[in-house]
Amino acid sequence: MSDFVKRLSSFREEVFPTHSGLYRKLAREGQQPQALMISCADSRVMPEVITQSGPGELFVCRNAGNIVPPFSTMNGGVSSAIEYAVVALGVRDIIVCGHSDCGAMKGLCNHDLLAPMPNVAAWLRHSQAAYSIVCQAYPESLPERDRVRAVAMENVVIQLDHLRTHPSVAAKLATNDITLHGWFFDIETGEVQVYDGVERRFQVVAGEKPMPVAVTGRATPHIMDDPLMAAE
C-alpha cells in the first residue's frame, strides 16, 4: 500500500498542478461527461486509458463481467448509475465494453470455478444467455480460449439487450436521443472491436471509417406506424 501513498503525493504535487484549471472548472460547473461506459472491473481494462479520456469526460460503471441486470430484477448500483447518467447528466451514448481473458466469462464456462464464490455465481446469471448461445450455436470443438472469447462477445450483446429494458434508456431511444455501443477490448493487442447492430458482428474500426453502432434510437414511436392509429 505504501506504493499507492507515494503515488497519491506524486499526483497531488506533480500531476494535479498542471491540470488545476480544469479541475477548478469541473468543481465549479459540475460534470458533463460525453458518455457512460459500463466495463468489467478487471484491472487490465481501463476505460479512461482506452478512450484517452480526461477528468469529466467519461461516466464509468464497472463490475465483474460488464453486466447490466435487466430492469426491475435488481435495484442496485448499475441501474442507478444508468438512470443518473441518462436522466441527470443527459449522456447521449452508452458503451458496454467486454474484453479478452475475462475471469467472469471463464467462470461461466467452468462452473466449478464459481463454487467458492456464491455471490459471483448469482451475479453471472445475468450472463447465462451468452453461455447458452455459445453452447448451442458455436462449434463444440472450439478451443477453451476461443470459447471464453465468444462468450465475452455474446455477453456484450446480451447486456445491450438488458440496457433497453431500463425505462430511462427506452425513453431516450424512442426519441432518438441516445445511442448504444458494444465494444470488445483485446488486452494483448490493445485493439477495440466494435459491434455493428445491422450486420450483427464485431469489427475492427480503422482510420476515418465511421464507427458502427449497436442500437440507434428512432424518432417516431413504433405505434405511430400502425395503420389503424394513422386512420383515426
Residues near Zn ion (CB under 5 A) are: 40, 42, 102, 104
| CB proximity list for 13: less than 8 A, separation 6 or greater | none
When the beta carbons of 68 and 173 are compared against Zn ion, the nearer one is 68
202 Cβ neighbours under 8 A, 6+ residues apart: 153, 182, 184, 193, 194, 195, 196
Instruction: Please state the closest distance from residue 64 (CB atom) to Zn ion, in A.
Output: 7
Whether 204 and 191 have beta carbons less than 8 Å apart is answered as yes
What cell numbers appear for 118 in the block?
A: 456464491
Closest separation in Å from C-beta 184 to Zn ion: 11
Smallest separation (angstroms) from Zn ion to the CB of 41: 7
Contact 93, 36 (CB under 8 A): yes
Judge whether 156 and 114 are in contact, CB under 8 Å: no
CB of residue 102 to Zn ion, shortest distance in Å: 3
| Residue whose CB is less far from Zn ion, 79 or 127 | 127
Of 86 and 114, nearer to Zn ion (C-beta) is 114
